[in-house]
Amino acid sequence: MARYHIETYGCTANRGESRTIERRLRDGGHRPADGPAEADVAILNTCTVVEKTERNMLRRAEELEAEAGDLVVTGCMALAQGEAFAEAGVDADVVHWEEVPAAAMNGECPTTTPDAEPVLDGVIGILPIARGCMSDCSYCITKRATGRIDSPTVEENVEKARALVHAGAKELRITGQDTGVYGWDRNQGESLLPELLSRICDIDGDFRVRVGMANPKGVHGVREDLADVFATNETIYNFLHAPVQSGSDDVLTDMRRQHEVEEFREVVDTFDDRLEEWTLSTDFIVGFPTETDADHELSMNLLSEVRPEKINVTRFSKRPGTDAAEMKGLGGTVKKERSKAMSELKREVVAEAHESMVGERREVLAVRPGTGDSVKCRDGAYRQVIVQDAEARGVAPGDTLEVEVTAHETMYVFGRPV
């Protein structure tokens, strides 16, 4: 679990977003630090009301980057002027509010508490399908809190999903520490995720399904069945979060990540073959103690090759009680330089994907209120589309509509209802 430090600037809405972020971090087993110097990750929730405020935000970002292990920037300036931080030489993960908890994980898996139950948050239903994982990553402290995979039956999870849909959920988020190994404890080491998703898609109702983080090893064994379930059910967003963490098999071995780079590629290739359009999300840890310059270059090459549209880049930091904490670490300058290089490539890849959407028409589901009079929507590949002047246009969370993509920013695109 990570130690976090969060700072909030600006209006009441920003403070509300920070409370939500902190609640999700605490629910995931993460704990506040005494200050940025003691934090694994600092979170800066920004304001951008006037030029002086922007300068203050950039200065504070520079200070936090120097003090904390990692820096995540969110809030209004991140959304409106995200490129300003990179232009100022700040090495930060610039993300939307909703993406902060994932960005703050330090490469670790999300934690599901023992009593985790389905939650309806507006029109979003959150369904934890299992607790624990089958991994033993050398850098991850989460396993100590969660243990091995403990999977409820398919039928139990289907009934929970049905209850969420009947309660008004329009988007079901399938979550877990590693959804890819769901059912390994019940099915002789083979995932039951494809079967579960097929059964959920048979539930009567108008809703979409987003599959949460699944490690490449668990997905690899069922990649064809899983991709087929995605391809035959429009209910499922064509979105897969499979954290590769490194492009080097040597580093993956030292991380004890279980998968090899080629297995990750085979998962990507299978989804490419089955789906006309989909979004790949992945994570990289840079600066692992045994990562050489050549290993880092392999990671950069892999990112360029598979071109995921959502990328979390995390600088390695030692977690107490883990085997990786006993390894001789790399210098902070090396980690910073590698993180900066990969973050620049990430922005290039993501901007290219968003730019390609401009001018296209897409069907989207409105899922959450945005800033001001806007609404956050998702297209079929789970790309975020912002519709402005939502009230005047009669658009509210839960609505399905067609939009034309008119422009893009660092993390999302804008859509106009047609």
Residue 109 lies in a domain: no
CATH number, residue 21 = 3.40.50.12160
Establish if 76 belongs to a structural domain: yes
Q: Is residue 112 part of a domain?
A: no
Say how far apart CA 306 and CA 218 lie, in whole Å. 19
pLDDT at residue number 13: 65
pLDDT, position 112? 53
- For the CA atoms of 258, 112, 192, 238, what is the dihedral angle to 10 degrees? -90
Same domain, 334 and 217: yes
* Single residue among 355, 377, 406 that ends a domain in this structure: 355
Query: Which pLDDT does position 334 carry in this prediction?
Result: 94
Q: How far is Cα of residue 46 from the mean position of the Cα atoms in its chain? A: 20
Asked whether residue 272 is domain-assigned, the answer is yes
Give the list of residues 6+ apart from residue 308 with CB closer than 8 angstroms, or none. 279, 280, 281, 282, 349
245 shares a domain with 136: yes
Same domain, yes or no, for 234 and 254?
yes
Assess if residue 113 is contained within a domain: no
CATH number of domain containing 337 = 3.80.30.20
Q: What pLDDT, on the 0 to 100 scale, is given for residue 42?
A: 92
The residue from 103, 135, 164 where one domain ends is 103
The reply to whether 133 and 191 lie within a common domain is yes
CA 418 vs CA 243, 363, 393, 399, 403: distances in Å = 36, 10, 10, 14, 5
Q: Residue 404 maps to which CATH number?
A: 2.40.50.140
For the chain, how many structural domains are there in total? 3
Low-confidence ranges of the chain (pLDDT < 70): 1, 11-13, 16, 27-29, 49-50, 105-117, 143-145
Residue 79 lies in a domain: yes
Shared domain check, 183 and 161: yes
Q: How many CB atoms lie within 10 A of CB 311?
A: 20
Residues 268 and 159 in one domain: yes
Do 272 and 143 share a domain, yes or no?
yes
What's the confidence (pLDDT) of residue 49?
64
Same domain, 237 and 298: yes
Instruction: Please report the pLDDT score of residue 202 as a whole number.
Output: 97
Three-state DSSP at 41 gives strand
Q: For 240-279, how does the pLDDT look when each residue is reduced to its tens digit (9 = 90+)?
A: 999 999 999 999 999 999 999 999 999 999 999 999 999 9
Same domain assignment for residues 338 and 388: no
Cα 300 to Cα 94: distance, rounded to the nearest angstrom: 19
Domain of residue 28: give its range.
3-103
Q: Tell me if 175 is assigned to some domain.
A: yes
In degrees to the nearest 10, what's the CA dihedral of 253, 149, 113, 198?
A: 110
Same structural domain, 339 and 373: no
Is residue 230 in a domain? yes
Q: Where are the alpha helices (DSSP H) in 187-283?
A: 193-201, 216-220, 223-232, 249-255, 261-274
DSSP label of 236: B
Pair 258, 292: CB distance under 8 Å:
no
Per-residue model confidence as pLDDT tens digits over 75-134 = 888 877 788 888 888 888 888 777 888 777 666 666 554 445 688 889 999 899 998 889
pLDDT tens digits for range 268-283: 999 999 999 999 999 9
Check whether residue 33 and residue 132 sit in a common domain. Answer: no
Let me know whether 309 and 191 are in one domain: yes
Say whether 93 sits in a helix, a strand or coil.
strand
Q: Which of 305, 328, 355 is at the close of a domain?
A: 355
